[in-house]
Chains A and B, each alone.
Chain A
Amino acid sequence: MRFAVVVFPGTWSDCDFHYVISEVLHQPVKYVWHRERSLDDVDCVILPGGFSYGDYLRAGAVAGRSPVVESLGGFVERGGYVLGSCNGFQILCEAGLLPGALMRNECLQYRCQSTHLVVEQVETPFTRGLRRGQVLTMPISHGEGKYHADPETLALLRKRNQIVFRYATAEGAVTRAANPNGSVENIAGVASPEGTVLGLMPHPERAAEAAIGGTDGLLLFQSLLGTLVEDGSFLKR
Chain B
Amino acid sequence: MKVRVLIRLRSSILDVQGSAVKRALGGLGFDDLDDLRVGKMIELEVRAASPEAARGRVDEMCRKLLANPLLEDYTVEVLPAGDLAQARAGR
Contact = CB atoms under 8 A, between A and B. Distances in A.
Interface of A: 57-58, 61-62, 65, 94, 100-101, 103-106, 108, 148-150, 182
Nearest to B19: A108
Q: For B13, B65, B66, which residue has the most chain A Cβ atoms within 10 angstroms?
A: B65
Given A103-B71, A148-B71, A108 B17 contact: yes
Which are the 4 A-B pairs with shortest beta-carbon distances? A101-B70, A101-B71, A106-B16, A108-B16
A96 to B, nearest CB: 10
A148 B13 CA distance: 9
Contacts of B79: none
B17 A101 contact: no
Contacts of B64: 65
Contacts of B41: none
B68 A65 contact: no
Contact of A61 (B14, B16, B65): B65
A105 B16 CA distance: 8
B70 A57 contact: no
B70 A104 contact: no
A58 B71 CA distance: 11
A57 B66 contact: yes
A150 B65 contact: no
Interface string B5-37: 000000011101100100000000000000000
Contact of A148 (B17, B66, B70): B70
Nearest to A61: B65
Contacts of A57: 65-66
B16 A94 contact: no
Interface string B51-91: 00000000000001110101100000000000000000000
Nearest to B69: A101
Contacts of A105: 16
B79 to A, nearest CB: 21
A103 B16 CA distance: 10
B16 A104 contact: yes
Nearest to B17: A104
A150 B66 contact: no
A105 B20 CA distance: 12
Contacts of B70: 100-101, 148-150
A190 B70 CA distance: 16
Contacts of B65: 57, 61-62, 65
Given A105-B16, A148-B70, 14 more contacts: A57-B65, A58-B68, A61-B68, A65-B64, A65-B65, A101-B71, A106-B14, A106-B16, A108-B17, A108-B20, A148-B13, A148-B71, A150-B70, A182-B16
